[in-house]
Amino acid sequence: MTIEPLSSKNRPQQLEASRVGKFAIALVILFAIVAFSITRSVTVTQSLSPVSNLVMLRASARQALPLETAMTNGKPTLIEFYADWCTTCQAMAPALNSVHQQFDSALNRVMLNIDDPQWRHQVQQFNVTGVPHLALLRGDGAIAETFVGKVPKSILLGRLQELLGNL
């Protein structure tokens, strides 16, 4: 095999190959920049979300109705058993707040932190084996439905509408 020196007959092919190579590199760089910018905004939003959801979870717990009041006012009640460390509880906080706002006047919302020893009896009474644990109670205090784990908002809304429609 012999190496030919650069000649005028090979130069156009080499220039074309160089242009194609540069174009391919530019295309790859552009794709990388676009992919990075798209995924960066999603990553930043997701990384901030657990902190804001924990804040929302704690704020909801402070604003929730006391258990004794909910059990005596005759309205249906949503009891949410949760824990601050539970990432699913944190992730569901915005949806549960939205549900509560939608049914605010017709539904009690009670939040019981399973790590608080004062709720040990209720944890046993409602057979809480995991969090989040949602118990929907009729106005008379009877359990209408129980959900454990992540519950799609649409399912919870449908069940609450059925429960409230039966009043």
**Is 86 one of the catalytic residues?**
yes
Residue of 86, 93, 96, 137 marked active site: 86
The Cα 80–Cα 97 span in angstroms is 11
Cα-Cα-Cα-Cα dihedral sign, residues 117, 160, 62, 82: positive
Of the candidates 78, 89, 114, 137, the residue annotated as catalytic is: 89
Cα separations in angstroms, 132 against 6, 113, 136, 144, 149: 73, 10, 13, 17, 5
The verdict on whether 56 is a catalytic residue reads no
Q: What does the DSSP assignment read for 111-131?
A: EEETTSGGGHHHHHHTT--SS
Q: How many residues does the chain have?
A: 167
- Cβ atoms of 29 and 76 closer than 8 Å: no
Distances in whole angstroms, Cα of residue 40 to Cα of each of 35, 37, 46, 79: 8, 5, 10, 37
User: Which residue reads 């798209």 in tokens?
Assistant: 38
Catalytic residues: 86, 89
